[in-house]
Structure 1
Amino acid sequence: MAIIRCIDMHGGHFEVTPDDLSPGFSELGDYFFVAIPEHRFYIDDVPLAEVLHQGAAVWAWSPGFYAGEVVAELISQDKLIASYRLDVSPHATKLGRESFSQMIDEILSFDANLLFGTEHAQTKIGIDGSSTNPHLQYSRLRQYGAQLITACTRVTEKPLTRLRRERTQANANHVKRLDQQAIRKALRDPAALSFLHSSAAPSCAPDQVQFDISTVFNDLDHPANQTLACTLIEVMRRCRQVSLEFQAQLNKKDRESSTRSALAPRLVRRIEYLESLYGSLRRIQRMEPFRSLKNSSLSAAGLNAVSAHPVYARAYRFAWYTLRSGWMGDTNGESLWISPTWEIYERWCYVKIVEQMRQRYPQLEWVGEYPSQRVDCIRWIGKGTDFEVSVWLQVQCSSFGEMPYKGFSSISRQRFPDIVITLESPEASRFFIADAKYRVSRQGVLEGMESAHIYRDSLRWNGRRPDCVVLLVPKGGGVSGVESDDYRRTNGVGVVVMGCGDDAVVVANIWDELGSPLTATME
């Protein structure tokens, strides 16, 4: 068993064992794995650099802004020696593990598209629904690809056949029995006719006379083989599609970010795996029974034959596992990469605010939509007879001189505030902005207040300034003065603590303070 020793940032030592979930890792921490000679250590397809630490060779690793399960691999001479599961917890001063797990569950229940991203950490997923993306497709190809190859190889060792009768030409000395059709044809051939009479002398040698006989042989062009060949082609096509998607992302220059993990270094190894998997499937496709098939297609007869044969059923099952879509429902042993912790917090805040606004205005008809091609742009609209309340996530505020987007504009450069609430009615309009910041320290909160001031001064909705701009933080106490109601009422900006309790009500209460006409009518 390839057990690796790890040293944490405080000098503590602990062991990481293959396949078991290994705790002890934290977001933004520093860790050193004791290096094994002639081996390489990969964290989510990225090789760790070997450095010296206290005189010993180690692999250095520092998790970024992410939390969840991270996959690590020990490689020697391009062969996998062991796999590890590293459990990275969220930063202790910002979010506890239970709070973070609750946020993930609530986002999943609201809209799973808001959760998944490209960070190193993963979370367990289900198999329901029709949503998919290249990363989900790759994850399933990677998880089930080796098992599919093994299952298909067993199929090639002893493929299913069916008896097939065919008319062939055979020399007289090889014929044992003639049917009526063969006799009728032989009667029209003088050379063959001489062999049918025992008293007649053959006019030529037996190997020079041929009879048309019925032959029975095992045919590989079987419905089960056709069905399996069809799924094999689809898996190969999926490999190519995902590889091309990754290649396009690799060629697209990533914008450097201190809060997101770079994706490009991981794509290189993933493309190599997809090409290797495609090559293995292509070699199987050139073997029997697949090379003898006249066509490949799904059929009821083929599916029945596959389900009745354990080896074929296993190959078909793993092919289907690699091709299926969906990530909802109960977890099924699969996992998928998620967004950074700060983005998860931001989107969770949006989910909770939408819930609060729907509770505030239950008589409105609420509907969610993606008004643009950007996945992170969502609008929930509550429509009434004379009122319309909208809650936006990452709405585009067009830069100065450009056409406003849905009424949103900026008097400086283009901006994307995290959460925007608007109300439009014949009596009044309201424009409220909430900016989620995954920060708790005094310096972090004060730096985050910069965006609140910029949004208050530069953003417009139908020419209207924001009525209020607040900063949302997971824990309070960093700068207690700016969390007070008096500070917010006096300056039009402030900080609101929004954790996993009932803090979302505070945002709804601030919205009510702005004087919603509909709220007044309800009261």
Structure 2
Amino acid sequence: MDITLSLYRKSNGWQDATPPDEDAIVACAEGDRLQLRVRAAEAPTVHMGGDDLAPARLGMVEGQVEAAYEFVIDSWAGRTSLHVAMGERRRRLILDVQPHPGKLGIEAFAAMLNELSERSAALPWGMSPGQQGGRIAGPTAAAIFPAVLDALMPELLRHLRRFLRDPPIAVRRRRDLAPLSMARRPDTQTVRWLANHPRTLLALRPGDRGTGEQLAVLPSVEQPITVTNHDHPVTRHLHFQLLRVRQMVDATARRFETLAGSGNWRIDPFVRGYAARVAEQCRQHRAALADALSAPAFRQSPPEPAREGALQALADLPAAAAVQRLAHRLLGAGLQLDAESALEASVKRTYDLYESVVFYRLADAVQAALGPGWTARWSEPAGDAHEEKPHAAVEWQRNGQPAASVRLLYQQTFRAHSGKPNLWRSLSGELRPDYVIVFETDGDCHGWVILDAKYRASRGAVHDALRDLHVYRDALRHRDRKAHAAFIIVPALDQDASAYATADYVAEHAFGAVLSGADGDSLESCLRVHCNCVTGSQASAV
């Protein structure tokens, strides 16, 4: 019995989102509420991003079990997969989070990963379900991150199929003995060769034979020959890259098969089940790669590392360039299992990534606003055995005047009201904004600013974020002093929410939205006026 899938999106009731085909890619937006309805002969199991989903409703329809699963899209690497299983039958839906004004697009997402990787190779990676430990490997990874594999391998195979439909042709010219071509005039080297071979020249003299007989038995003459085949430098390089990807996918499958079959009682049964699914997926990807590598284009092209000519030619071959780029990402994304075969880590959630990257952008903006006369001192990176997190704080001191300082703090905790003195306290319950910046001279606080990163920036989301910001500004105290400014930081703004980021609005209210993302970056200009209270370049902004 087959599995029938129907996907619906919540919008004034449940609206049909797509008639899902096998491995269909469904466009959606982060934050969308979806409902998957599954009909099968028996109760199915549904996994999303490694998590087991529980049915919101279960019943019998037309003699089959119908289960309804409701969930909110929470993007992992821009893509989330739904796996449905009933016995030996398997179905998969790929939920692709499309770019929109309130979210970074896929390319911007990749750029954000690269930006974080420049700070630390471990920062972009969080944990897979199961909360197992892992550590980042070197350039040659022992296993691929499951979420990266899930997001990139289908794309790589899709572009690989495009490439094989029209592979590049290599044209090579050489000299060889062949019947004299009557379609072009002999070149100088051929004439010289004939002068040195008088018998062959005599056989070519007209009138010695009939035209038909002469054409049938023309002697072989050294002449330029044009040979065309698929042995192209780009194909050779892709062959080399794909063999490495196949080797690593195979290694990943073996690692997860070992984990799935582990008898270690400390490993959660769910983790073992998840590892078995990842191993099965890896085997399918390996088979698809092996099938592609058996194509004539790769059989005619021996694998070799990239040469300058191959990299230059990629610019004219979009499908080949996409395969090369995706293979490069896969070969660089991995980690090793720890001593107890703990499950692999995965890409952090998009909002966590954005919070991390904004912290480092804020540090750069503060440094630029303060100028070269200030020196930064960074705290040790935060984190635990499961994942690395950004530094907890950065402090700047004026060169020669250590009494003047600026501090940027990440996720500073403001303790709940208790009546006890506390440098960081809340008038109500415990609160933790993403960032605070404090300006001090001789231990006296000139003022401080609250900032909160918000990954989505539609008008409704901005209103929700600004409401939280009102609570922070009203409830939080540092040295019994309220914050003198508060801002949300967003990657983009919908047109109907752009008023909150205008210079006049921000200056009048010391409140609003600041852009840092695909639509520009105004962090430095926003912070410069607040840094003036310690730099003294203008009148105090407080």
TM-score of the pair, normalised by structure 2: 0.51
Alignment match of 2:411 (pick from 379, 394, 410): 394
CA contact (8 A) 2:465 2:488 kept: yes
Preserved CA contact (<8 Å) 1:32 1:60: yes
Report the counterpart of residue 294 of structure 1 in structure 2.
none
For each residue in 1:94-121, what CA deviation from the matched residue of structure 2 results, as whole angstroms up to 9, or x when unmatched?
113333333333233334665444588x
**CA apart distance, 1:16:** 4.9
2:478 corresponds in structure 1 to: 461
Distance in 1 separating the partners of 2:271 and 2:480: 48
**Separation in structure 1 between the aligned mates of residue 6 and residue 136 of structure 2, nearest angstrom:** 32
**Match 2:73 to one of 64, 74, 84:** 64
Seen in structure 2, the aligned counterparts of structure 1 residues 476 and 24 have a Cα distance that, compared at 3 Å, is closer
What is the alpha-carbon distance in structure 2 between the residues aligned to residue 366 and residue 47 of structure 1?
46
Pair 1:502-2:520 in alignment:
yes
Instruction: Give how far 1:392 is off.
Output: 1.5
Question: 2:52 matched to which residue of 1?
Answer: 46
Residues 338-361 of structure 1: CA deviation (Å, up to 9, x unaligned): 444333333332232122223334
Task: Evaluate the alpha carbon distance shift between residue 111 and residue 500 of structure 1 in structure 2; reply closer, same or farther with a 3 A threshold.
Answer: farther
Matched, 1:411 2:421: no
Q: Is 1:30 aligned with 2:34?
A: yes
Distance in 2 (CA, whole Å) between partners of 1:440 and 1:493 is: 16
Work out whether residues 37 and 69 of structure 2, in 8 Å CA contact, stay in contact via their aligned partners in 1: yes
Kindly indicate whether residue 379 of structure 2 is the aligned counterpart of residue 369 of structure 1.
Answer: yes
Deviation per residue, 1:313-362 (Å, 9 max, x gap): xxxxxxxxxxxxxx998225997434443333333322321222233344
Instruction: String of CA shifts for 1:458-483, please: whole Å, max 9, x gaps.
Output: 32223333221112233143444433
Distance in 2, matches of 1:396 and 1:497, equals 25
Q: CA 1:488 to 1:93, structure 2 compared with 1: closer, same or farther past 3 Å? A: closer
The alignment partner of 2:495 has SS state of: coil
For the 8 Å contact 1:126–1:330, the answer to whether it is kept is no
* CA distance in 2 between partners of 1:66 and 1:114 (Å): 17
1:210 is aligned to none
- The percent identity for this pair of structures is 16
Q: Could you tell me how far 1:367 is from its partner in structure 2? A: 3.8
Q: Tell me: CA distance 1:24–1:488, structure 2 relative to 1, closer, same or farther (3 Å).
A: closer
Q: 1:348 aligns with which of 338, 357, 374?
A: 357
Out of 434, 453, 463, the position equivalent to 1:436 is 453
**Correspondence for 2:396:** 382
Specify the SS of the correspondent of 2:487.
strand
Q: What amino acid is the match of 1:365?
A: T
Q: Which of 445, 460, 463 pairs up with 2:462?
A: 445
User: Matched residues in 2 for 1:274 and 1:15: separation?
Assistant: 26
Q: Which letter maps to 1:448?
A: A
Partner letter of residue 523 of structure 2?
Answer: V
Contact 1:399-1:413 within 8 A present in 2 as well: yes
Structure 2: how far apart are the matches of 1:468 and 1:94? 24
Describe how 1:110-125 pairs up with structure 2 within 5 A. Answer: 110-111=119-120, 115-117=124-126
Q: How far 1:488 moved relative to its partner?
A: 3.1
Q: Can you give the 5+ residue segments of structure 1 that lack an aligned partner in the other structure?
A: 153-231, 247-267, 277-326
The corresponding residue for 2:487 is 470
User: Cα 1:74–1:453, aligned 2, differ >3 Å: closer, same or farther?
Assistant: closer
Task: Summarize deviations over 1:165-214 as a string: whole Å, max 9, x none.
Answer: xxxxxxxxxxxxxxxxxxxxxxxxxxxxxxxxxxxxxxxxxxxxxxxxxx
Q: Give the 3 Å change call, closer, same or farther, for CA 515–5 of structure 1 in structure 2.
A: closer
Distance between the aligned counterparts of 1:515 and 1:355, measured in 2? 13
In the alignment, the residues of structure 1 paired with residue 413 and residue 467 of structure 2 have an alpha-carbon distance, to the nearest angstrom, of 19
The verdict on how the C-alpha distance between 1:236 and 1:368 changes in structure 2, with shifts beyond 3 A counting, is farther
- What's 2:527 paired with? 511
1:489 to 503, 507, 511: 507
CA contact (8 A) 2:412 2:433 kept: yes
- Whichever of the two has the greater Rg, that structure is 1
Query: Paired residue for 2:333?
Result: 331
Rounded Cα–Cα distance in structure 2 between residues aligned with 1:29 and 1:336 = 26
User: Is 2:396–2:405's contact at 8 Å kept on the other side of the alignment?
Assistant: yes
Once residues 143 and 393 of structure 1 are traced to their aligned partners in structure 2, the CA distance between those partners, rounded to angstroms, is 40
Task: Specify which of 356, 359, 374 is matched with residue 368 of structure 2.
Answer: 359
* Shift, 1:64, TM fit: 2.8
CA contact (8 A) 2:75 2:350 kept: yes
Alignment partner for residue 108 of structure 2, among 81, 96, 99? Answer: 99
Displacement after TM superposition at 1:434 (Å): 0.9
CA contact (8 A) 2:515 2:523 kept: no
For the Cα contact (< 8 Å) 2:82–2:95, is it kept in 1? no
Q: Which whole-Å CA distance do the structure 1 matches of 2:83 and 2:505 have between them?
A: 52
Amino acid in structure 2 at the alignment position of 1:98: E
Separation of aligned partners in 2, 1:111 and 1:493:
32
Instruction: Work out whether residues 101 and 494 of structure 2, in 8 Å CA contact, stay in contact via their aligned partners in 1.
Output: no
In structure 2, what is the Cα distance between the partners aligned to 1:100 and 1:111?
17
Q: In 2 relative to 1, CA 376–398 (structure 1 residues): closer, same or farther, beyond 3 Å?
A: farther
Tell me which amino acid in the other structure corresponds to 1:417.
P
Query: How many residues matched?
Result: 351
SS in structure 2 opposite 1:513? helix
Amino acid at match of 1:472: I
Q: Secondary structure at the match of 2:517?
A: coil
Question: Kindly tell me: are residues 522 and 53 of structure 1, through their superposed partners in 2, closer, same or farther at Cα, counting changes over 3 Å?
Answer: farther
**Per-residue CA shift, 1:2-32, capped at 9, x if unaligned?**
99755454535455546xx845344325253
C-alpha distance in 1, partners of 2:59/2:39? Answer: 10
Structure 2 counterpart of 1:354, which letter? Answer: A
| Cα distance in 1 for residues equivalent to 2:128 and 2:538 | 44
CA–CA distance in structure 2, aligned partners of residues 149 and 500 of structure 1: 37
- Separation in 2, partners of 1:343, 1:46: 22
Q: Is 2:138–2:335's contact at 8 Å kept on the other side of the alignment?
A: no
**Aligned mates of 1:69, 1:490 — CA distance in 2:** 40
Of the three residues 75, 83, 87, the one matched with 2:85 is: 75
Aligned to 2:340: none
- Whole-Å separation in 1 of the counterparts to 2:70 and 2:494: 30
For residue 395 of structure 2, what is the amino acid of its counterpart?
I
Query: Deviation at 1:433?
Result: 1.2
State the alpha-carbon separation in 1 of the partners of residues 498 and 519 from structure 2. Answer: 19
Partner of 1:307: none
Q: Structure 2: 5+ residue runs without aligned partners?
A: 10-14, 130-134, 150-248, 278-328, 337-343
The structure that is strand-richer by fraction is 2
- In the TM superposition, what whole-angstrom CA distance separates every residue of 1:212-245 from its partner, at most 9, and x where no partner exists? xxxxxxxxxxxxxxxxxxxx9xx969x555x2xx
